[in-house]
Chain A
């Protein structure tokens, strides 16, 4: 690793062996790496992380396309990368030696793959009785559907979340291209930290598993609560809110620009009326409470829309928030880099990486005593830390490493093979 970088590192004594790929698992280990854990990411030249998104053509290999993925590069910073062919006995041996020196293993392989590789829990416990093993399959590691696969979209579908969004008489509405991935990653980070806390307290490792679908279900937990408590699901209300009246999304001056307004308490109502120049509404006592406004919500929405339509979304938001009225521009995801609050709070930070140069990264979404988890090193190039890890931690000599490379068990170049590509979701 590079020289010391200041910043919070509460997990500096933790070592994680990371066999995850894509978005979900790597998001979990990004949180841990950002907070100081040593995360050793294992890929192989035959099966690099598919979030590298490389195409299997000579041209793509020559131009190092597998090192250019924005998604891969931002989710794998602060990690060390090794390539090990786990299907080779010598590769398995090396993996077990790393696991012997680790606190936890995290993986999101398909069901049965770890066992097939000879890396079952008993295999791991034989070399490290206190190892933690976490996996996060789409539908969970146990149960009738546990062998079923899914992407982040599948996870949102399977949790039933789309039934909680949209018009009362419209279809269920999916809200994200791969919601389940990121949500699963957050749940995995959280559960793994609980296991790590217990391990440091007692020396005891354990099996941890979670279903990404069940993690996703928590984001819409008001749904099962309503069903369980009242026997009926929550009413879908379009863009309205069950408590805040009005809440909606309003067209602004520029084409396809929109402002969300939420009147989260009754004190905001007269302030809203003042900003949109409708003292008549403020003076109408029947509208002083949310319950009173509910009956005339459409008319209120029309009054707001008449005001927003000749303002820029940013100006309208500023005018409303200056009057303590809840409002937020529906920004495009790709415009987040310019977001005022993000920029001023240091959310975006730059990290230079070979092949792609300096690029923005989202820093940790929390600050410890004012500081975010430091960005120390960019995402590893394929096999970048083979020598450092396999030589440094496993004590392999230069000759041994050369022999492993000659045998194709480790390496730094993807092996050309027919494998279907997958585009990384936009996020």
Chain B
């Protein structure tokens, strides 16, 4: 049984960040109800990759991954009756997650202050690009915008070219993971006793601030030494080299050598002991300064053998190498197979596919791996019956005015 068995979570809003936070709670055993807008649903349902020949909003692999194990219900938060249902669900939960946009939960009458009055122990986490206040509260965001403003993008790319935007949803995954840390801490705080006046928490999670985790050290450092960040070159970063990727005889090999011992072992590995004695490359600072020259030696050498050969021999010599596996390689490599890195995900229209499961290994409370994701609104009827005691007549009346969708037909 998962560690969070018995914890009830209601998730409102759009995007990968809140979906990932809810997914982490779900794999730990919490019951998670995803509330979506009738018709279009969560914006994640419109993100690629899509299954072939399947129409949105039931085609997104991202949705199937993020919503696995959750229930999906549709409620129109723009209608008073919908707001009342949402409110009743929220006050019955241990945790409410929302990413409706700053201020929108208040407008829908499920803001923290009003819920707190009815449910004083409720933990609510609001995820947004820039936080619940501040000069950018209402600005538009994206993974790329958050990464840009967090100082993450500037150092990536050619020295004399534009910076490179990372592919994917890394800022939102980071935001969801960071919000999960805060939610778990609040849940533990709530275990301290019902009399605690700290019960009931509104967590304000800015995705930008979560993303700053990766760059804050550089920001702090400049207060010590005044040095400004540079963009050094493609696959090159200060202050050390090599800490890069080379084409191998087959695939790509990631090469990092920091200590003298690692550099010595690396030179030995590639059959170029003379490089270790070369003063241009004798320290990691010198290698950093002469990185392009060093590449003229290392590029042809690493091209001589397949990545996995370099990897195993290098690691045996304690050189921190890694192959750079393609997405197809992940399923083939014995290490990832042995650790069951990939799990099966399912969706009624997409079928079953493998993807990288949330990876923590807790011996006594293992995470659920993979699982089935719901069609839009497929659980509206069951959830509202079970949680709020609504009968068929009430459900039909609510559906008739569009306050809810009863699912199955994309509504």
Contacts and interface: CB of A to CB of B under 8 A. Distances in A.
B222 interface: yes
Closest 9 CB pairs of A and B: A157-B254, A10-B189, A427-B217, A214-B359, A333-B218, A333-B151, A328-B145, A158-B322, A193-B184
B39 interface: no
B331 interface: yes
Chain A CB count within 10 A is highest, among B131, B170, B210, for: B170
A129 interface: no
B353 A336 contact: no
Given A176-B152, A207-B363, A224 B327 contact: yes
B293 interface: no
A46 interface: no
B220 interface: yes
Given A154-B254, A207-B363, A71 B168 contact: no
Nearest to B199: A10
A198 B365 contact: yes
A404 B174 CA distance: 44
Interface in A341-383: 341-342, 344-345, 347-348, 356, 359-362, 364-370
A98 B254 CA distance: 39
A31 interface: yes
Contact of A345 (B133, B151, B201, B362): B133
A161 to B, nearest CB: 8
18 contacts: A8-B189, A10-B198, A14-B188, A145-B315, A165-B156, A173-B234, A182-B214, A206-B363, A211-B339, A214-B356, A219-B168, A230-B49, A334-B221, A336-B212, A336-B218, A344-B134, A360-B220, A426-B237
Interface stretch (A88-96, A234-242, A279-287): A234-242
Interface in B86-121: none
A56 interface: no
A175 B178 contact: no
B390 interface: no
Given A197-B188, A224-B330, A365-B178, A264 B364 contact: no
A182 B335 contact: no
B396 interface: no
Given A139-B335, A186-B213, A194 B52 contact: no
B235 A171 contact: yes
Interface in B25-72: 28, 46-52, 61-62, 64-65
Given A173-B235, A239-B165, A360 B219 contact: yes
B145 A326 contact: yes
Contacts of B213: 27, 182, 186, 362, 365
A332 B230 CA distance: 8
Contacts of B194: none
A157 B92 CA distance: 44
Nearest to B246: A171
B204 interface: yes
Interface in B185-236: 185-192, 198, 201-206, 208-210, 212-225, 227-229, 231, 234-235
A1 to B, nearest CB: 19
B290 interface: no
A198 B3 CA distance: 5
A126 to B, nearest CB: 17
Contacts of B179: 366
A189 B213 CA distance: 13
Given A262-B145, A366-B205, A420 B259 contact: yes
Contacts of B48: 222, 226, 234, 242-243
B181 interface: yes
A426 to B, nearest CB: 5
B173 A218 contact: yes
Given A162-B235, A427-B214, 5 more contacts: A172-B252, A197-B187, A210-B361, A331-B154, A362-B219
Interface string A316-338: 00000100111111111111110
A179 B284 CA distance: 19
B140 interface: yes
Interface residues of B, number: 149
A172 B239 contact: no
Nearest to B359: A214
Contact of B62 (A197, A222, A260, A427): A222
A187 to B, nearest CB: 7
A260 B231 CA distance: 16
B320 interface: yes
B328 interface: yes
A305 to B, nearest CB: 10
Contacts of A138: 320
Chain B CB count within 10 A is highest, among A14, A32, A191, A210, for: A191
A148 B315 contact: yes
Contacts of B142: 241, 244, 247, 260, 262, 264, 326
Interface residues of A, number: 154
B4 A359 contact: no
B238 A150 contact: no
A297 B136 CA distance: 28
Contact of A336 (B64, B145, B216, B237): B216
Contacts of A149: 315, 318, 320
Contacts of B217: 23, 70-71, 74-75, 424-427
B271 interface: no
A19 B322 CA distance: 25
B149 to A, nearest CB: 4
A229 B353 contact: yes
Contacts of A23: 217
Contacts of A31: 181, 185
A165 B147 CA distance: 14
Contacts of B206: 341, 345, 365-366
A223 interface: yes
A72 to B, nearest CB: 10
B260 interface: yes
A229 B49 contact: yes
A423 interface: yes
A328 B339 contact: no
A221 interface: yes
Contacts of A191: 360, 362
A153 B155 CA distance: 14
A249 interface: yes
Contacts of B150: 331, 336
Given A224-B355, A333-B218, A194 B28 contact: yes
Chain B CB count within 10 A is highest, among A73, A329, A366, for: A366
A11 interface: yes
A334 B339 CA distance: 38
Contact of A368 (B182, B231, B331, B339): B182
A408 interface: no
A68 B223 CA distance: 12
Nearest to A31: B181
Contacts of B52: 230
B4 A194 contact: yes
Contact of B223 (A162, A190, A333, A337): A337
Contact of B221 (A70, A155, A209, A236): A70
A151 interface: yes
A345 B134 contact: yes
B256 A328 contact: no
Contacts of B152: 175-176, 333
B243 A369 contact: no
A142 B364 contact: no
Interface string A117-152: 000000000000000000000111011110111110
